[in-house]
Amino acid sequence: MEEKEILEKVEEFHSERIEKLKNNETPLPSFESGKIVMHLIPFETFASPKHCDLSGYKGQILDLKPLKFHSLDQMYDFDGMLHFELGKDEKCLAYVQAYFNGIMEAVDCHYLGFEHKELFIFEVEEIIISKTKEYIAFQKKLGIEPPIVFYLGMLGVKDFSIKYGHVDEHFDNIHPIDRNDLILPKVTIESFDASIEDLLKINFYRIWSACGYPRSFHYSANGEWKENPAS
């Protein structure tokens, strides 16, 4: 299968999953609140389909963690293995699904499930980078090879805003997000050694831009990731 055909299959899978998640069709019943959604889709899933043996991870809950959690449980389902956290009324707050074909899907309601509609962007950027590294490391354990297509989405974020303290005084027309869903540009991870901070910069810049800022201030003016963004 040629690369163009593979990418079409990848796009089709991602689009189908996003539509289901918009309609709150998740592996476990979840809260109807904002969601951060991550997908990591290997080329080889569609180029030369394989079946990953996930049975060795029974009980190994901490080998694969959602974006944020306070308690954690595990179950196997038709698609693969699910590590998840349940909140009140047995609704799912966060999960990460490892598919038998090597795809990873992570969904989180913690960061966007509150009334004040404030996006704690530095924490969000840091956890997305951290989990992306963790998830591709898990895919490597499963024998998956790059390239891996990464997608980031934020669903239900209309009227959310970024607060950046005193720096806000230097920018005109800072505003809340004007649409319900942000589906960020896809990023291709060509190597397990690739700089995730560099690759995801385009996604983070777009989130800040959606709130009226020129760029993510987790990066320097030269575009270099800053471990301490306050500096």
**Span 24-83, pLDDT tens digits:** 888 888 877 889 999 999 999 999 888 999 999 999 988 999 999 989 999 999 999 999
> What pLDDT shows up at residue 167?
57
Distance (Å, whole) CA 132 – CA 201: 13
- Which of residues 52 and 90 earns the better pLDDT score? 52
Distance (Å, whole) CA 132 – CA 186: 13
Q: Output phi, psi for 57, to 5 deg.
A: -100, 10
pLDDT of 166 higher than 60: no
Asked, for residue 219, whether it belongs to a domain, the answer is no
Q: Based on the structure, what is the number of domains in the chain?
A: 1
Note if the pTM is more than 0.75: yes
Asked, for residue 86, whether it belongs to a domain, the answer is yes
Q: Which domain does 153 fall in, by range?
A: 3-209
Asked, for residue 106, whether it belongs to a domain, the answer is yes
CB within 8 A of 155, min separation 6: which ones? 18, 21, 22, 34, 35, 37, 180, 181
Asked, for residue 218, whether it belongs to a domain, the answer is no
pLDDT of 231 higher than 60: no
Q: Output phi, psi for 208, to 5 deg.
A: -60, -40
Residues 184, 206 contacting (CB under 8 angstroms) = yes
Average pLDDT of the segment spanning 189-203: 97
Structure tokens belonging to residue 156: 């239900």
**Span 105-154, pLDDT tens digits:** 999 998 886 778 989 899 999 999 999 999 999 999 999 999 999 999 99
Asked, for residue 221, whether it belongs to a domain, the answer is no
Asked, for residue 185, whether it belongs to a domain, the answer is yes
Asked, for residue 225, whether it belongs to a domain, the answer is no
Distance (Å, whole) CA 62 – CA 95: 12
**3-state secondary structure string, 11-43?**
HHHHHHHHHHHHCCCCCCCECCCCEEEEEEEEC
